[in-house]
Structure 1
Amino acid sequence: MLLYTENFEEQKRKAMQSLREALERGEVDGDIVGLLERINSLDNYFTTSSCSGRISVMEMPYFGDKVNSVWLGKWHREVTTDEVFEAIEKHRRGQLWFLVRSPILHVAARSMEDAVRLLNLSIGLGFKYSNIKSVSHRKLLVEIRSTERMDVPLGEKGKLWVDGAYIERIVGIANSQVRRFKGKLRKLEEAMAGLTPQKP
Structure 2
Amino acid sequence: MFLYTKNFEEQKARAMESLRRALEEDKVDRDIIPLLEKLNALESYFTTSSCSGRISVMEMPHFGDKLNSAWLGKWHREVSVEEVLEAVRKHKSGQLWFLVRSPILHVSARTMEDAVRLLNLAIGLGFKYSNIKSVSHKKLLVEIRSTERMDVPLGENGELWVGEEYIERIVRIANDQLRRFKGKLKKLEENLNRLGQASRTQT
**Which TM-score applies when normalising by structure 2?**
0.97
Which residue does 2:154 correspond to in 1?
154
Amino acid at match of 2:172: G
Structure 1 residues not aligned, in runs of 5+: none
1 CA distance for matches of 2:90 and 2:173? 23
For the residue of structure 2 that corresponds to 1:186, the secondary structure is helix
For the residue of structure 1 that corresponds to 2:195, the secondary structure is coil
For the residue of structure 1 that corresponds to 2:115, the secondary structure is helix
Which residue does 1:35 correspond to in 2?
35
Aligned ranges 1:1-200 → 2 under 5 Å: 1-196=1-196, 197-198=199-200
For the residue of structure 2 that corresponds to 1:152, the secondary structure is strand
Amino acid at match of 1:13: A
Alpha-carbon distance, 1:193 to partner: 1.6
2 CA distance for matches of 1:37 and 1:188? 12
Alpha-carbon distance, 1:109 to partner: 0.1
Alpha-carbon distance, 1:165 to partner: 0.1
Alpha-carbon distance, 1:120 to partner: 0.3
2 CA distance for matches of 1:28 and 1:173? 25
Alpha-carbon distance, 1:186 to partner: 0.2
Structure 2 residues not aligned, in runs of 5+: none
**Which TM-score applies when normalising by structure 1?**
0.99
Residue identity over aligned pairs, in percent, reads 75
1 CA distance for matches of 2:25 and 2:194? 31
For the residue of structure 2 that corresponds to 1:64, the secondary structure is coil
2 CA distance for matches of 1:194 and 1:58? 39
For the residue of structure 2 that corresponds to 1:100, the secondary structure is strand
1:70-93: CA deviation from partner (whole Å, max 9, x where unpaired) = 000000010000000010011000
Residues matched between the structures, number: 200
2 CA distance for matches of 1:152 and 1:192? 34
1:134-184: CA deviation from partner (whole Å, max 9, x where unpaired) = 000000000000000000000000110000000000000000000000000
Alpha-carbon distance, 1:194 to partner: 1.9
For the residue of structure 2 that corresponds to 1:162, the secondary structure is coil
1:18-55: CA deviation from partner (whole Å, max 9, x where unpaired) = 00000000000000000000000000000000000000
Question: Which consecutive aligned stretches of 4+ in structure 1 deviate over 6 angstroms post-superposition?
Answer: none
For the residue of structure 2 that corresponds to 1:194, the secondary structure is helix
2 CA distance for matches of 1:182 and 1:193? 19
